[in-house]
Structure formats: structure tokens, C-alpha cells
Chains A and B, each alone.
Chain A
Amino acid sequence: MAATTESVRADAAEAPLLNKKNMILGSLLYVVFYAWVRWYEGIYGWSAGLDSFAPEFETYWMNFLYIEFVLEVSTAGILWGYIWKTRDRKVMSITPREELRRHFTHWTWLVMYAFAIYYGASYFTEQDGTWHQTIVRDTDFTPSHIIEFYLSYPIYIITGGACFLYAKTRLPTYQQGLHLQYMVAVVGPFMILPNVGLNEWGHTFWFMEELFVAPLHYGFVFFGWAALGVMGVVNTEVIAIAKLLKKDLA
């Protein structure tokens, strides 16, 4: 009886398999933050973002750029450093339940990656198209670029890196080496950021017109394909989770 009571207490005190609070707070963080960013663009894009030589451009846009650079580097350093520093050195000896819990946490990270990729590759990238169709650029650091290239892309890189690091440091499934498709899914979209160098260099030759399907942009396309690597991650996860649940679902 005493042992049963203790077991029930232990169950009650045990962390949930899926921490829904983290999932909701994480999702809200992306959605609310990007809603605020979109509001900022709407207000200061038109009022302060048309002439890069104007003092208000420096105030509202270049300062935004400098602040985001600092925050992104610090966030990446702290987050990735924390995940690495707190890694499990006995990852192969965890209990199946703990492994299942970690798979849920891993999927919480992957859901955040989904938000981050959506905003970066879909929302802010196509938005950049309509901005360039409307405003003739006089700088590489247009309002849409300051958000798209230098905010939303680093955010998905930071999130993707965190997913990969979490899996590598906490899950037995990923201990046999480096998961090729996972690396492609994270490193490929990461390469879109360095490809901005090619893009901006190309645009120094012409800037009055905008053609979104121009071959200059195909670097983004090639690295965008890498997002499909998520299918390899899904397959690996399905195999791992099925192995954990097989006995109980039979």
C-alpha cells in the first residue's frame, strides 16, 4: 500500500510527456512577435523607409538592423551554448519514458521551426516581392530586407540549429552519427542567408526593375528545396516513436 501510494505520488509529480505550456508560449512568441514586426513595417515602411539618405531612415530602420544583429548573435550564442552545455552525457542509458518525453520536447522545437520557416521563407519573402514592385530601392538595407533577410532568416536558423542540437545531445536515435537529411533541412535553409551576398551583389548592377523569377534568385530556390529534408526527420522520428510504442499498441 505504501509503495503504491509512493508510486502514485511519483506519477503525479512527474513532468508531463508533452509540456503544452511550452508549446503554447513558444507558438505565441513567434506569432505575437511577427504581428508586431508587421505592424512596425506598416507604419515605418512608408513614413521612414523610402529614402535611405534621410535621417529618419537611420533612426527607424538602420537602428532596427543594428539592434537585431546584436540580439540574434546573443540569442544564438546563449541558446545553442545552453543546449550544448547541458547535454546529456549518458544519453544511451535513459529510460524509455524519458526518451518519449524528449521526443515530445524535440517536436515542440520542430513545431517552432515550422513557424519560423513559414514566416521566413513564405510570409516575409513574398512580401519583399511586392515591396520591390512598389518602391525603387536605393540601398541593400530596404525595410523589407531588414525584416526578411536579417531578422526572419536568422530566426529560423537559430530555431533550426536548436532543433538539431537538441536531437543530437538528448535523443538516443541521433547518436549513431550525423543525420544527413536533418543536416540538409537545417543547413540548406541556413545557406539562404549567405546567398543574400550573391543576391545583393547582383542587384548592384540593376535596381530600377524587379523580376522575381530572375536567375539571380535561383540560389534561394536551390536552398529552399532543402526544407524537404524534414521528411527524412519525420521518417526517422516515426521509426523511433513506433519502436517505443510498438509493444503497447500491439
Chain B
Amino acid sequence: MSASQSAVRSRAEAVKVSRTFDWLILFTLFFVVLGGYHIHYMLTGGDWDFWTDWKDRRLWVTVAPIVSITFPAAVQAVLWWRYRLPFGAVVCILGLLLGEWINRYMNFWGWTYFPVNFCFPSNLMPGAIVLDVVLMLTNSMTITAVIGGMAYGLLFYPGNWPIMAPLHVPVEYNGMMMTLADLQGYHYVRTGTPEYIRMVEKGTLRTFGKDVAPVSAFFSAFVSILIYFLWHFFGKWFGGTSFTQSS
């Protein structure tokens, strides 16, 4: 190959080629990351995300941010640190939510007939926006991990509260008190329905009161910071361009 030869006929063609590659790359990155992120999330936090009767104030609030900050941290490590694109976290969450919504509608509802208001996915977008904005404004991985990671954990419950609050009101049904979400679960019996399977806060005197959600969110924020650091470095490694030398 001659170094003097050009791959394109004109500058206009070069620009067109460059733009076309941009779209091909974005499409591929979006859907491959979607696939990897979705299988990760559904198998580490999925049950809390699938059903409203799992969306409690303790474990859902704790687990979902911790397991979902992973891929955003890794993708930011490439999109921001290599290309100065400030949307690594948002693009991950958009992918995850697209995959989830298609599934909940086409399969949870379309194949096994669970109503969508029983199996809609959690909203992870507010934390993702903050994560991207903090990184863009500070250009610092450490500050993004500490401030952004903490915000990611803390914002999860408030970001979902307007959707979940109506389903957490108490109802009395056949002499027992439960939440509307619990009632949905009892009506739609699943193989995950038995109480020894369902991991939610157990009924005690404080079931309907006080501090469970904020404490859980704060703990989640703490672990999210640590997970962000770890996955940032995972992302750096996955974005590498190294070759194993052939012998």
C-alpha cells in the first residue's frame, strides 16, 4: 500500500465517510452495550426491577443503583476520556431502558400477560444525567466517583418515588394490611411469589414508617462510589487496543 495514495476522492467524500462511520459506531456500541448491560442487570438486580411487589424501600433501593452504576462507569471511561463525549452514562441507561421496555411490553405482557403497571422497569435516568454532568463539569474521575456516584445512589428512590408512591399506600384486604403492590403480587402468582423467595423488607412495626428508604439510599450511594472506581478501570481495560503477539 502506498502512503501517497488517498482512500477517498475528495474532502467532501472524506467528511461523508467519517459521518457514516459515526452512525455505524454509535448503533453498534449502543446495542452491544445494551445486550451486555441488560443481561448483567437482569441477573443481579432483575427481580427487584421486574415486579412492583419487589420494589420495596430497603433492598430495591440498595441493590439497583449498586449493580447499575457498573456499565455507565465503564462506558464513560472510554467515551469521555478518549472522545470527550459527555453522554456515556445516559447512553447506557437509554439502552438498558429500551431493552427493558420492549421486553416488559412484548414479553411480560405480550407473552405471559402480566400487566405493564405491575412489571414496568425502574427509572435510572436522573442518576445517569447527574453522573454525566459531574464528569463533564469537573473532568475528574475521582470527583465523578465520589459526587456523581453518591448522587446516583441517592437519586434513585426520589427518581422512582412518583411512580411507586401510589402502589405503596396501605390497604386492608381480607383482614390483613399490605401495600397495593403486595396485592398486585398476590393476584399475579409467580414462581417467585413465595415469601421465602421474595427478598423485601419484612413486616415489622416500622413497615409503614420513617427512615428505611433514606438509610438504604445512603448505603447504596456509598457502595456506588466504590463500584464506580472499580468499573472505571474495567472500562479502561475493555477500551484497550492491545494485541497478543503471534509467535
Contact = CB atoms under 8 A, between A and B. Distances in A.
B11 A118 contact: no
B188 to A, nearest CB: 9
B46 to A, nearest CB: 4
B67 to A, nearest CB: 9
Nearest to B54: A213
A226 B111 CA distance: 30
B73 to A, nearest CB: 11
B36 A232 contact: no
Interface string A207-220: 01111110001101
A177 B11 contact: no
Interface residues of A, number: 82
A232 B240 contact: yes
Nearest to A210: B191
A38 B107 CA distance: 9
B110 to A, nearest CB: 7
A184 to B, nearest CB: 7
Nearest to B242: A180
B114 to A, nearest CB: 7
Nearest to A177: B243
B6 A248 contact: yes
A237 B24 CA distance: 11
A129 B42 contact: yes
A227 B234 contact: no
A15 B41 CA distance: 43
Contacts of A181: 238-242
Given A115-B31, A213-B43, A231-B75, A123 B112 contact: no
A130 B114 contact: yes
Interface stretch (A55-63, A64-72, A73-81, A131-139): A131-139
B78 interface: yes
Nearest to B51: A133
B17 interface: yes
B47 A212 contact: yes
A209 B78 contact: no
Name the residue in B25, B31, B43, B45 with the highest tally of chain A Cβ atoms < 10 Å from its Cβ: B43
Contacts of A185: 32
Contacts of A230: 28-29, 32-33
A130 B107 contact: yes
B99 interface: yes
A221 B18 contact: no
Contact of A241 (B21, B44, B190): B21
Contacts of A244: 7
Pairs of residues from A and B, 7 with the lowest C-beta to C-beta distance, nearest first: A227-B36, A121-B35, A177-B243, A114-B31, A248-B14, A117-B35, A96-B7
Contacts of B9: 11
A132 B46 CA distance: 13
A85 interface: no
B64 to A, nearest CB: 11
A236 B21 CA distance: 13
Contacts of B242: 179-181, 232
A111 B27 contact: yes
B235 interface: yes
B34 A107 contact: no
25 contacts: A11-B9, A100-B7, A107-B24, A114-B31, A117-B32, A122-B39, A126-B103, A126-B107, A134-B112, A134-B191, A176-B245, A180-B242, A211-B197, A213-B45, A221-B44, A224-B36, A227-B37, A230-B28, A230-B29, A230-B32, A230-B33, A231-B29, A239-B241, A247-B6, A248-B13
Given A127-B107, A241-B21, A245-B14, A228 B74 contact: yes
